[in-house]
């Protein structure tokens, strides 16, 4: 590694980390403002809210790193151009291709960082954050069982085998106990949906234990009043975008075996694979800007262009994911098309500048 390589890497990595820290701080501040509404519920105080925000911070990595790489690289290259260092580098024999390879190595570093944080840290920190919040707000939850989700609701223990997007419950089992913790009845329902302030259950079987007698009844529909709300279930529902690729793969297999729709989870899996590559795409996209305005400077203009490009990438990426989900596009296309589009734009700009 030459001195120039080390110098350029240090400059770019330093600026990217600074931008990343600023963006993460901004997201965490907004999260804290949102959590202020929950302070006072149970033991949920300001300290718990701050800890919850800190544990949730790794979940923002996917939203922050590609944009930080783009803005940080643009700023570093603009500073080099402003102090005529870019001209010196070109005169000393470093071609645009050589500079591009240096930037690509930086992009690969942040791509690996994004992938590792998304696979190893985010799933664990997100689960810990949600557990902390639920326990502090006086909810009792256990969800690491193969039998599904378990919750305590007054004198009842509730087991839900599956929670679908939209908080629709599948295979509900309610075990109701009396004050002395003697089992009074067991209610089983095939499915349930929250409507009109209560849960409407379908295909209900209720078994009552009265003394030494057992009495069973079947109902096509039933009503269940519970403190369990859809908001709680939405918190407990593992968001596909924050699941690890390993868990997504096995969950897709589970859904396929049960003949359920897997489009959303497949798109999330492909996004897990493609999104870290966005860091490499961003450095490719940033490189042409170092030469477009080399004589005129314009750091603020370059930063503004970087911010707009980063925002447009995020918007386009989310847009394609939602359109692909609604239109049933092939998951690889929905997840990778924006990244491929921006890569094509970046390479086209590099070719155009090199021909100049």
DSSP-derived secondary structure letter, 181: -
Instruction: For the chain, 356 residues long, give each residue's pLDDT as a single digit of tens.
Output: 577 788 888 888 999 999 999 999 999 999 999 888 888 877 788 998 999 999 888 888 877 888 899 888 888 887 877 777 777 777 777 777 778 888 888 889 998 988 888 888 887 888 788 778 777 765 555 555 567 788 777 788 888 887 765 567 888 999 998 888 888 899 999 989 888 878 899 999 999 988 778 888 898 999 888 877 776 665 555 567 777 788 788 878 867 776 767 888 888 888 888 888 888 888 888 888 766 655 444 567 767 777 788 788 888 888 998 898 888 889 899 888 988 898 888 888 888 877 76
Q: Which residues of 229-256 are buried (b: 16+ CB within 10 A; e: fewer)?
A: ebebbebbbbebbbbbbeebeebbeebe
For the chain, where are the alpha helices, taking DSSP H only? 3-35, 46-56, 61-82, 85-91, 96-116, 122-136, 230-236, 245-257, 263-274, 277-286, 289-292, 299-327, 331-355
* Phi and psi at residue 197, to the nearest 5°: 85, 5
- pLDDT at residue 139 in the model: 53
Condensed to tens digits (0 to 9), the pLDDT of residues 62-112 reads 778 888 998 888 888 878 777 777 777 777 777 777 788 888 888 899 989
By three-state DSSP, how is residue 97 classified? Answer: helix
Domains in the chain: boundaries: 3-137+238-355, 155-226
Q: Does residue 189 come out as left (phi exceeding 0), alpha (psi in the -120 to 50 range) or beta?
A: beta
**With contact defined as beta carbons under 8 Å apart, do 199 and 226 qualify?**
yes
Condensed to tens digits (0 to 9), the pLDDT of residues 52-63 reads 999 888 888 877
**Residues whose CB falls within 8 Å of the CB of residue 23, separated by 6 or more in sequence, listed in order:** 60, 64, 67, 68
- pLDDT at residue 1 in the model: 52
Rounded CA separation 269/263 (Å): 10
By three-state DSSP, how is residue 221 classified? Answer: strand
For 84-188, where are the alpha helices, taking DSSP H only? 85-91, 96-116, 122-136
**Residues whose CB falls within 8 Å of the CB of residue 195, separated by 6 or more in sequence, listed in order:** none
**Residues whose CB falls within 8 Å of the CB of residue 221, separated by 6 or more in sequence, listed in order:** 200, 201, 202, 204
* Phi and psi at residue 70, to the nearest 5°: -65, -50
């Amino acid at each position: 590694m030459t001195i120039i390589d080390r110098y350029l890497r240090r400059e770019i990595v330093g600026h990217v980390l600074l931008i990343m820290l600023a963006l993460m701080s901004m997201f965490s501040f907004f999260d804290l403002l949102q959590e202020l509404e929950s302070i006072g519920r149970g033991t949920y105080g300001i300290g718990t809210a701050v800890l919850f925000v800190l544990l949730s911070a790794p979940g923002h990595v996917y939203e922050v790193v590609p944009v930080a790489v783009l803005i940080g690289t643009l700023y570093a290259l603009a500073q080099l151009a402003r102090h005529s260092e870019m001209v010196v580098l070109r005169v000393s024999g470093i071609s645009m291709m050589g500079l591009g390879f240096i930037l690509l190595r930086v992009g690969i570093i942040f791509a690996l960082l994004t992938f590792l944080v998304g696979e190893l840290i985010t799933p664990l920190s997100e689960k810990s954050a949600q557990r902390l919040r639920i326990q502090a707000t006086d909810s009792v939850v256990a969800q690491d069982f193969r039998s599904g989700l378990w919750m305590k609701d007054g004198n009842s223990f509730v087991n839900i085998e599956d929670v679908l997007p939209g908080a629709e419950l599948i295979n509900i089992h309610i075990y109701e106990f009396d004050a002395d913790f003697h089992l009074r009845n067991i209610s089983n329902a095939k499915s349930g949906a929250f409507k009109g302030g209560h849960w409407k259950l379908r295909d209900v079987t209720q078994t009552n234990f009265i003394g030494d007698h057992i009495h069973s009844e079947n109902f096509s529909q039933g009503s269940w009043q519970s403190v369990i709300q859809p908001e709680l279930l939405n918190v407990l529902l593992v968001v596909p975008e924050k699941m690890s690729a390993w868990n997504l793969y096995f969950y897709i297999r589970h859904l396929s075996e049960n003949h359920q729709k897997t489009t959303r989870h497949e798109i999330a899996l492909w996004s897990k694979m493609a999104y870290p590559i966005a860091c490499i795409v961003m450095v490719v996209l940033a490189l042409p800007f170092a030469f477009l305005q080399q004589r005129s400077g314009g750091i603020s203009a370059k930063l503004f262009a970087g911010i707009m490009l980063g925002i447009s990438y995020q918007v386009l990426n989310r847009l394609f994911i939602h359109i692909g989900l609604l239109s049933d596009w092939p998951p690889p296309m929905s997840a990778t098309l924006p990244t491929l589009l921006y890569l094509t734009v970046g390479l086209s700009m590099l070719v155009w500048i090199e021909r100049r």
